Amino acid sequence: MRETPRSQGTAGDTRAGHPQRRFGRAFAHTTGASGSGTPHRSDGRPPQTPRGVRHTGPYGRPGTTPPVPGRPAFLSPGPLRFWIPFALCAAVFTLVTWQVSADGPLLPADERLSHALAGQGPRPLTELLADLGSMLVAVPVLAVAIGYALWRGQRARPLMAGVAMAAVPLLVVPLKIWIDRPGPLTDATGYYPSGHTATAMVAYGGAALLLAPHAPRKWATPAAVLLTLATGIGLILRGYHWPLDVLGSLALCGMLLLALKRALRAAGSRDLSRSTRRSSGKTPTG
């Protein structure tokens, strides 16, 4: 016959009962801090089961089964770094174009500022700065960068930079004809947006994007920004363009360069791997 264990609550009972809990030993299932019936370890570590370490993500965020924390793709840092500045450039360009084409309230202030700045500074210096946006100066810089990228074994990236440069007159010339704005010191029209500023920004900016993976200490981008701003300042000080002409070109070509940067990044993995193999003397097999 099977012996039935007696209750441990009987006073004076000397017979053996249930095993007593001893310090230093872990029980697989006890009622503890985590709730009744919850797996618990005496050393405080979490249970070694997948169910015990799974956590659902915050509400409204997609996940797999079980839910995994995450965020929508359009809210990830990568797309935001493109769309926020792109939207800002688009807003500035739309505002400036509207003001210039409709003789808005910004136009008198723009004209007063231009008349106050035109002719200021040493003429040889301001002429040199304005010439930085010439096709004869800026485009050869981009051509050198394209040639260097081709020599490093890249193919798609130089082609994209060349397409961006070719898009400048396709964007600027129709706007010049449509807006038909006269210049600060002449009755001739077709001054908005500034073609020299657009040429400088895309040529120097495109060259910087091509050289950035190879340029030491990341000097290419600051140099492109400095040359572009110097071009715009020279154009305003020489009286070749109104300030809004320069600002409109900066906003328009900012969108173009952001699109170019995104395209170059997408094509960069293949071209840069080919460049690395070329510089190391290895040839692809297959």
Q: So where are the chain's domains? A: 78-279
The residue type of 8 is Q
Report the pLDDT averaged over residues 138-165.
93
pLDDT of residue 43: 55
Report the pLDDT averaged over residues 189-218.
91
Report the pLDDT averaged over residues 183-199.
93
Hey, which residues does 8 pair with through a beta bridge?
none
pLDDT of residue 226: 97
Could you give the CA distance from residue 258 to residue 278 in angstroms, rounded to a whole number? 29
CATH code matching the domain that covers 78-279, chosen among 3.40.1000, 1.20.144, 1.10.3470, 3.90.320: 1.20.144
58-105 pLDDT per residue, tens: 444 454 444 445 555 444 556 778 889 999 999 999 999 999 999 999
234-278 pLDDT per residue, tens: 999 999 999 999 999 999 999 999 999 999 888 766 655 555 666
Could you give the CA distance from residue 279 to residue 271 in angstroms, rounded to a whole number? 12
pLDDT of residue 283: 45
4-60 pLDDT per residue, tens: 554 444 444 444 555 555 554 444 444 444 444 555 555 555 555 555 455 554 444
Predicted TM-score (pTM) of the model is 0.68
Report the pLDDT averaged over residues 206-213.
90
Those residues with Cβ within 8 angstroms of residue 242's Cβ, 6 or more apart along the chain or in another chain: 110, 111, 114, 181, 183, 184, 191, 192, 236
Whether the per-residue pLDDT at 143 is higher than 50: the answer is yes
DSSP 68-130: -----GGGSHHHHHHHHHHHHHHHHHHHHHHHHHTT-THHHHHHHHHHHHTT-S-HHHHHHHH
Whether the per-residue pLDDT at 137 is higher than 90: the answer is yes
Q: Please, what is the average pLDDT of the chain?
A: 79
Q: Which residue has the higher pLDDT, 129 or 219?
A: 129
